[in-house]
Amino acid sequence: MLPMNSRMQFDPLQIAKQLADFNQRLQRGSELLRSVKDRDVQIATTPKTEVLRQDKTTLYHYEPMAERTVAVPVLVVYGLVGRYTMADLQEDRSLIRNLLLQGVDLYAVDWGNPARGDRWLTIDDYVDGYLNECIEFICRSHGLDSVNVLGICEGGVFTLCHAALYPERVKNLIVTITPVDFHADQAEGRTDHGFINLWTRSLSPEDVDRLIEANGNLPGELMSFVFSNMTPLASLTKYNLGLLDVVDDEKKLLNFLRMEKWLADRPHHPGEAAKQWLKDLYQQNKLVKNQFELGGRKVELVNITMPVLNIYAKEDHIIPPQCSRALSDCVGTDDYSEIGLAGGHVGVFVSGKSQGVLGKGIVEWLKERP
């Protein structure tokens, strides 16, 4: 029983009105949900052509949407924790489309859906194998000696490694929401940031090995669970309160469902690559210490001598800003720039607010470095 001085001050008439509004909303939402079909919820629809396939990895070339303004093509590289389709969620929320509309010749690499049989693939295979082959292919196709590369999250780490090992093949490097110092989360002292860093450090190296041995890979479902722990109530109320907020507005509802479709499409992370990701990088922080090795070669960030643009999200709870910004001190170029965008890890790519800012910032920076 609440005492008399409780903050709750409910007016019975107001409550009745709210209840009536709520019922009307539910009714409209129910009708709308019934009419929505899977074909209405499409993601990654920007026209593209498959130009190269290696095992499960596919290289796509997007159809131009405007006159070319940036001479050298850009290759978009996503990580293995999610799918590249996040960069092309829907027509009005698409980094891919924004870049194309501003005259960028665009490629994207899709790592596919790794299964148990892919458990032995390492980060070395992805960086020195598949990614390197994609870049070589684009160079050959355009008669170039280097291309522009844009890495996202774990894909940003792949591009950093590749740029450090093959600096001559990267003309300009753009990394977005990319971890470099995996222990810098501790400097922020925020309870809502960096849970993956904390969770990974709570495991022993043997825990990681047994987890991978038992599953053959890092299950996508486990990573989804860890992500949901980072925003516990948002995860729990997504399908009641969250859905209720958008259920009677077709546009908002379809946005919600597209995001759900992307979230549900979380691939398994190949086992050996996951061990490197969790142990070498998250636990032992080898990248920022220049101790990370791929194929017997040390990845030394000082070898990144091409211009670098580092884009981070100010409210990124998955890759805290300090983890990304640590790159500033490590690269071997003076042409280093940063853009800090308002928003969270995924919000930077899919929120309405960031749509103009992100693509425009990248294209302007590239135009200054032809």
Partner 1 sequence: MADKPANWMDQAGELYKQWADQQQSLFRSMAGNAGLFGIGGVNAEHPPVNAAVEATADATEPLRKAQALWQSSMQQWVDLAQKAMPQAGLTGESLKALLDPRQWAQAGLGPLDAAIEHLVEGPSYATLWTLDRKLMKAQKLRAEWSRDLAAFQVLMHGAWNEAVQRFMRELNDAQGTPITSWRELTDAWVKVANETLLATHRTPEFLEAQRRLTRSGAECRLQEREIAEAFCEMQQMPTRTEMDEVQREVYELRRRLRALEKSGRAPAAPAAALPNATKKPRRAAK
* Residue 228 exposed, middle or buried by CB count within 10 Å (0-12, 13-18, 19+): middle
Q: Is 334 in the site for partner 1 (CB under 8 A)?
A: yes
Q: Is 287 in the site for partner 1 (CB under 8 A)?
A: no
Torsion of CA 170, 136, 113, 76, to 10 degrees: 30
Q: Is 228 in the site for partner 1 (CB under 8 A)?
A: no
Q: Is residue 330 annotated as part of the catalytic site, yes or no?
A: no
Calpha distance 127→336 (Å, rounded): 23
Q: Is 221 in the site for partner 1 (CB under 8 A)?
A: no
Smaller CB distance to partner 1: residue 3 or 34? 3
Q: Looking at 75-83, 102-110, 115-123, 152-160, which segment touches partner 1 (CB under 8 A)?
A: 115-123
Calpha distance 284→276 (Å, rounded): 10
What region, left, alpha or beta, does residue 176 occupy, with left being phi > 0 and alpha being psi -120 to 50 degrees? beta
Q: Which residues pair with 149 in a beta bridge?
A: 75, 173
Q: How far is CA 51 from CA 48, 88, 107, 132, in A?
A: 9, 18, 9, 15
Smaller CB distance to partner 1: residue 45 or 337? 337
Q: Is 167 in the site for partner 1 (CB under 8 A)?
A: yes
Q: Is 368 in the site for partner 1 (CB under 8 A)?
A: no
Q: Which residue has the tokens 């209840």?
A: 19
Distance in Å, CB of 160 to partner 1, minimum: 13
Calpha distance 271→64 (Å, rounded): 37
Instruction: Indicate which single residue of 32, 139, 254, 263 sits in contact with partner 1 (rule: CB under 8 A).
Output: 139
Q: Which residues pair with 340 in a beta bridge?
A: 312
Smaller CB distance to partner 1: residue 6 or 35? 6
Residues 45-84 that bind partner 1 (CB under 8 A): 54-55
Q: Which residues bind partner 1 (CB under 8 A)?
A: 2-3, 5-11, 14-15, 18, 54-55, 116-121, 125, 129, 133, 136, 139-140, 143-146, 167-169, 191-192, 195, 198-199, 202-204, 207, 210-211, 213-216, 229, 231-234, 237, 241, 301-303, 305-307, 328-336
Residues identified as active-site:
153
